[in-house]
Amino acid sequence: PVTRCYNLELVVKDLAPDGFTRPVWTVNGQYPAPILQANMGDRIILNVTNNFGDPTSIHWHGLFQKGTNYYDGPVGVTQCPIPNRVTFKYDFTLEQFGTFWYHAHHLSQMIDGLKGPFIIHNPKDPYRGTYDYEYVVTLSDWYHTPTGILLQQFSDDSYTGFSPVPDSGEISGFGQYDCNAAPKNSTCNSNNEVATYVVQKGKKYRFRIINTSALVHYIFSIDNHPLTIIEADSGLLKEPITLNSIPINIAQRYSVILDANQPIDNYKIRAHITNCNPVNNKTINFDSAINYDVTGILKYDGAGDNPPTSEAFPLDTSEACRDVNPNSLKPYNNKMPQTVITTFKAIVNFGAAASGRAIALVNNSTFVPNDDYPTNQKIVDGVSPDELSSNDNPYTYESNSENCNDDGVEIHVINNTTDSHPFHLHGHDFYILYNGENNTGLKSPQKSEFNTENPAIRDVVTVLPISTTVIRYCADNPGVWLFHCHIQWHFSMGMAVQLIETPSIFKKTIIPSDVTGLCANDDFIKDMTI
């Protein structure tokens, strides 16, 4: 293991990822943000220099931050926002491996561009010998209006609760917007570049697919090439499963193996938007909206430049808004805690604030990040969990032992809305014991209905409309952890709770005083390939 030090400079820059030029919140001028790579065991230092002109912070999605809760990133939960013109040093050791990502965790800056892949390799990854090369693919919806403007409506008394509609979609930061729909005075190019992945016939490729969207779910496929899933979020599968298309909700990740065994040619990569939730008073028919379905190209070496004429696999509409069936994602290791120390029922609803403004509720309370930490830029220090949790939807529990088997926490997410919600847990991954179907009701299922034999392990699960999902995780990570819907707009409406895990230990955490500073070598490591 080595120490890797990366400088990330946050700057707003005009870019046109889908052909339409707008200010984008970038890392080192790039959107999507650069792929961070490291090996398991490495210490990573990320010097985040904020030149956005606005406060910000970064969350390392899927990393447990064991012992370093204060580097988790959510503003108003574990840190104050990083002020403009300040460098904040995130510094932690990578104890996991797999496909992760990083994104802003302040306001909706993530939607404006601050998001990128974070890949942690492991020489002992049991699947490592089963492919020759690997690629990272990000999928994302995309808005032309900066969220500073879009978010204003959320604090308006007349806000009705519908999410802003994206303008287009992208594969790895490339989208094709039809500029006829753009306002007259905008800078727009209808013939934008297409995301292209070159493969050699006869080789096998690992594609790491990440949905970094704000609002939408995708069905991902590559014509003529079934895809074999080996990893869901960062959890390896015991038995790989092969699908023609892969439904992937927000913040979820899959690693798939593609066998380049087809005739040398160009094939379409497709990311089909599926519409899970009503937007702006109506259910938008994304299927008829040309700007939403995104395509890329899988290009066999030697195939020439003709656009692909390949045909899509038939669309499996039953995959719309869904996760890959959790019961088919058997974990490589099943270490599900057998004893449950606490069960938290999280009833999810929309509601109205006193002013009439639409808000989101968990157990009748809406999450408001705590903005009043005494010092800017300093991490929460010496604040007791009780103070920390004031008005922030806390749920507190103490673990019993050092033994995960005896320290299970169960969350029953009871979705009393007609939307579906991809719920994400910070600081842990979880076993999916039960994932209720659409409209199957708001009661906790019987224990006999739980999958305890080989439950999927991941860190984002889709909770379907009017249904209940049960997850269980090990309380082995003292700290304050968010549990929230990863639809960014729902999070902005307050669809989140804070889990205050084992405060007796967490209270004793000593927080480093030095959180500013640059890498010794000021040169940004441009090629982060291992």
Backbone angles phi, psi at 168, to 5 degrees: -165, -175
Q: Does 490 bind Cu ion (CB under 5 A)?
A: yes
Partner from ligand C2O, Cu ion, none binding residue 208, C-beta < 5-8 Å depending on class = none
How far apart are alpha carbons 259 and 254 in whole angstroms?
16
The number of beta carbons lying within 10 Å of the beta carbon of residue 191 is 8
Nearer to ligand C2O, 213 or 291 (CB): 213
Strands 394-397, 294-300: pairing is unpaired
Region of 72 on the Ramachandran plot (φ > 0 left; ψ -120 to 50 alpha; else beta): alpha
Least distance between ligand C2O and beta carbon 27 (Å)? 16
Binding range to Cu ion, per CB under 5 A, among 118-126, 416-424, 437-445, 502-510: 416-424
Closest approach of ligand C2O to the CB of residue 530, in Å: 24
472 binds, among ligand C2O, Cu ion, none (CB under 5 to 8 A by kind): none
Partner that binds at residue 484, options ligand C2O, Cu ion, none, CB closer than 5 to 8 Å by kind: ligand C2O
Using CB distances below 5 to 8 A depending on partner kind, what does residue 105 bind out of Cu ion, ligand C2O, none? ligand C2O
Query: Considering the complex, what minimum distance in angstroms separates the CB of residue 383 from Cu ion?
Result: 29
Residue 426 interacts, among ligand C2O, Cu ion, none and using kind-specific CB cut-offs from 5 to 8 Å, with ligand C2O
490 is in the binding site of which of ligand C2O, Cu ion, none (Cβ under 5 to 8 A by kind)? Answer: Cu ion
Q: Does 487 bind Cu ion (CB under 5 A)?
A: yes
Nearer to ligand C2O, 73 or 296 (CB): 73
Residue 136 C-beta-side C-alpha neighbours within 13 Å: 24
- The least distance separating ligand C2O from the CB of residue 115, rounded to whole angstroms, comes to 9
224 torsion bin: left (phi>0), alpha (psi -120 to 50), beta (else): left
Task: Pick the piece of the chain touching Cu ion (CB under 5 A) from 98-106, 250-258, 395-403, 415-423.
Answer: 415-423
Per DSSP, helices labelled H in 204-279 are none
Query: Residue 487 binds which entry of Cu ion, ligand C2O, none, with Cβ cut-offs from 5 to 8 Å by kind?
Result: Cu ion
CB of 463 to Cu ion, least distance (A): 8
Under rule CB under 5 A, residue 217 binds Cu ion: no
Minimal distance in Å, beta carbon 111 to ligand C2O?
Answer: 12
330 binds, among ligand C2O, Cu ion, none (CB under 5 to 8 A by kind): none
| Residue 499 makes contact with Cu ion by CB under 5 A | no
- Beta bridge partner(s), residue 3: 43
Q: Report the alpha-carbon distance of residue 299 to residue 305 in Å, rounded.
A: 9
As measured in angstroms, the least distance from the Cβ of 36 to ligand C2O is 15
- Assess contact for 139 and 248: CB atoms under 8 A: yes
- Rule CB under 5 A: is residue 485 a binding residue for Cu ion? yes
| # binding residues, Cu ion (CB under 5 A) | 4
Which is closer to ligand C2O, CB of 319 or CB of 459?
459
Instruction: Report the residue number, 357 or 486, with the smaller CB distance to ligand C2O.
Output: 486
Q: Residue 422: which residues within 8 A CB-CB, separation 6 or more?
A: 217, 249, 250, 251, 252, 460, 461, 462, 463, 485, 486, 487
C-alpha 359/C-alpha 153 separation (Å) is 12
Say if residues 90 and 60 touch (Cβ distance below 8 Å): yes
Neighbours of 246 (CB within 10 A): 21
Q: What is the largest CA-CA distance in the chain?
A: 64
| Tokens representing residue 360 in the block | 């989101």
Conformation bin of residue 24: beta by default, left when phi > 0, alpha when psi is -120 to 50: beta
| 253 touches Cu ion (CB under 5 A) | no
Partner from ligand C2O, Cu ion, none contacting 421, C-beta within 5 to 8 A by type: Cu ion
Choose from ligand C2O, Cu ion, none: what does 357 bind? Cβ within 5-8 Å by kind: none
Q: Which amino acid makes up residue 305?
A: D
- For residue 376, the cross-strand partners are none
Q: Which residues are CB-neighbours of 16 under 8 A, at least 6 positions away?
A: 22, 187, 188, 189, 192
From 421, 424, 426, 428, residue interacting with Cu ion (rule: CB under 5 A): 421
By CB under 6 A, name the binding residues for ligand C2O. Answer: 59, 61, 74, 103, 105, 251, 424, 426, 482, 484, 486
> Distance between CA 16 and CA 142 in Å, rounded?
11
Instruction: Provide, rounded to whole angstroms, the least separation between the CB of residue 30 and Cu ion.
Output: 29
Rounded Cα–Cα distance for residues 110 and 133 (Å): 29
Residues in touch with Cu ion (CB under 5 A): 421, 485, 487, 490
